[in-house]
């Protein structure tokens, strides 16, 4: 089923919500390759909207094909936010994103338009839906370097340190999850508070219409495979080759799906067919993680719905 086939039902839900709440936000969520962007663009033909990307990768300039950005021709007509705002070597934190989104949404509402948040990065959607407070702890790369050196000299010492200062956070992490352990320690030493203290929910700031677009696993994987082949045809390899001439492949932005696999190909680790096969497999795994994350919203809608939130789930396969 195509997204356009459910548009009349979606429009009915939007109209009903608009009558009830004058200042509100739409969130379109679910796993990758389910049609979220297509739905947002269809809604832009009916309502005065501005779109906010909730994709962790689309903030980076020059990373267009691999992040599946909305073409610039559309963005010139329909305002899109949180796209192309930093370079690939900039470490864009969740705190910065939350600060920016909390400014963007009121600005859109002041223009009498509807903010539509679109994406599959659960943390970024939770910033609005669960309204977590975010620690003001920008990355300190020198501090991190010292921690990595310590871990190299004393394996598991960082995890043991985290167990002492933030046992709740340590319980959620595997001792080998070094990047997350380092970030948790960084937050503690920069703010004086454990990372787990920032993990409490607050009421939503504005009424939300939470619309999930669910597809079955096989259908999602088929669409993922098709999209990856299209990205290759559109020039993903050339895009990554251009980036490698300018940016270190160890950057966080270069470690994402669609980039690290093509980097491996360009470095001679795999041939292109093998790199594409690995990319498909990794993306399937990522979609599975997204489905697991977003099932929490379905559970909330049935067990403990949040005030001022309307939950709607549309099955497309």
Q: Which helix (H) or strand (E) holds 29?
A: strand 25-29
Share of the chain above pLDDT 90, in %: 90
pLDDT at 179 (0 to 100): 84
- pLDDT(91) > 90: no
Question: Alpha-carbon distance 260 to 84, whole Å?
Answer: 20
- pLDDT(295) > 90: yes
- Look at residues 2, 82, 10, 73 and name the one whose alpha carbon lies nearest to residue 38: 2
- pLDDT(134) > 90: no
pLDDT at 199 (0 to 100): 80
214, 314 contact by CB (below 8 A): yes
- pLDDT(200) > 90: no
Question: Alpha-carbon distance 311 to 266, whole Å?
Answer: 44
Q: Tokens for 104, please give them.
A: 């963007």
Domain identity same for 125 and 153: no
- pLDDT(94) > 90: no
pLDDT at 147 (0 to 100): 96
Domain identity same for 266 and 154: no
Q: Could you read off the pLDDT of 166-178 as tens digits, one per residue?
A: 999 999 899 988 9
**Domain around 174:** 141-198
pLDDT at 137 (0 to 100): 85
Domain identity same for 44 and 93: yes
pLDDT at 138 (0 to 100): 81
pLDDT at 27 (0 to 100): 98
Question: Alpha-carbon distance 121 to 220, whole Å?
Answer: 16
Domain identity same for 227 and 189: no
Domain identity same for 81 and 156: no
Q: What's the burial of 3, exposed, middle or buried (CB within 10 Å: 0-12/13-18/19+)?
A: buried
Q: What phi and psi values does residue 283 have, to the nearest 5 degrees?
A: -70, -35
Mean predicted confidence (pLDDT) in 185-197: 94
Indicate whether this model's pTM tops 0.75.
yes
Mean pLDDT of the chain: 95
Count of domains observed in the chain: 3
Q: Could you read off the pLDDT of 44-76 as tens digits, one per residue?
A: 999 999 999 999 999 999 999 999 999 999 999
Q: Residues near 138 by Cβ (< 8 Å), separated by ≥ 6?
A: 91, 93, 95, 96, 190
CATH number for the domain spanning 180: value is: 1.10.20.140
- pLDDT(24) > 90: yes
Q: Which alpha helices (H) appear in the chain, and where do they start and end?
A: 7-20, 36-44, 72-75, 94-110, 122-129, 141-153, 157-165, 167-172, 178-191, 217-234, 236-244, 260-266, 272-303
Mean predicted confidence (pLDDT) in 88-106: 92
pLDDT at 287 (0 to 100): 97
pLDDT at 157 (0 to 100): 96
CATH number for the domain spanning 61: value is: 3.40.50.300
- pLDDT(135) > 90: no
Q: Could you read off the pLDDT of 8-21 as tens digits, one per residue?
A: 999 999 999 999 99
Domain identity same for 164 and 54: no
Domain identity same for 81 and 146: no
Domain identity same for 93 and 7: yes
Domain identity same for 300 and 272: no
Domain identity same for 223 and 186: no
Domain identity same for 224 and 279: yes
Domain identity same for 211 and 146: no
């Amino acid at each position: 089923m195509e997204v356009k086939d459910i548009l009349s039902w979606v429009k009915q839900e939007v109209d009903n919500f608009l009558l009830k709440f004058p200042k509100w936000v739409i969130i379109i969520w679910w796993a990758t390759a389910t049609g979220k962007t297509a739905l947002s663009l269809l809604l832009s033909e009916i309502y005065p909207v501005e779109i906010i990307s909730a994709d962790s990768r689309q903030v980076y300039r020059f990373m267009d094909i691999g992040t599946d950005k909305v073409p610039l021709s559309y963005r010139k007509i329909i305002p899109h936010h949180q796209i192309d705002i930093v370079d690939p070597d900039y470490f864009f934190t969740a705190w910065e994103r939350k600060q920016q989104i909390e400014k963007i949404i009121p600005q859109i509402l002041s223009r009498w338009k509807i903010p539509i948040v679109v994406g599959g990065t659960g943390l970024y959607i939770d910033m609005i839906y669960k309204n977590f407070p975010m620690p003001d702890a920008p990355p300190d790369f020198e501090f991190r370097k010292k921690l990595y050196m310590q871990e190299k000299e004393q394996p598991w010492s960082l995890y043991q340190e985290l167990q002492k200062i933030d046992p709740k956070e340590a319980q959620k992490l595997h001792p080998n999850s070094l990047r997350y352990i380092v970030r948790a320690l960084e937050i503690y030493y920069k703010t004086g508070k454990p990372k787990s203290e920032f993990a409490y929910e607050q009421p939503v700031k504005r009424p939300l219409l939470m619309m999930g677009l669910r597809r079955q696993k096989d259908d999602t994987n088929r669409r993922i495979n098709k999209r990856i082949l299209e990205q290759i045809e559109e020039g993903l390899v050339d895009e990554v080759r251009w980036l490698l001439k300018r940016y270190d492949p160890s950057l966080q932005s270069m470690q994402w799906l669609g980039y690290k696999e093509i980097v491996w190909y360009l470095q001679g680790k795999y041939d292109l067919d093998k790199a594409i096969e690995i990319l498909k497999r990794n993306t399937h795994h990522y979609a599975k993680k997204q489905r697991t994350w977003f099932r929490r919203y379905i559970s909330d809608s049935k067990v403990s719905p949040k005030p001022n939130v309307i939950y709607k789930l549309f099955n497309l396969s």
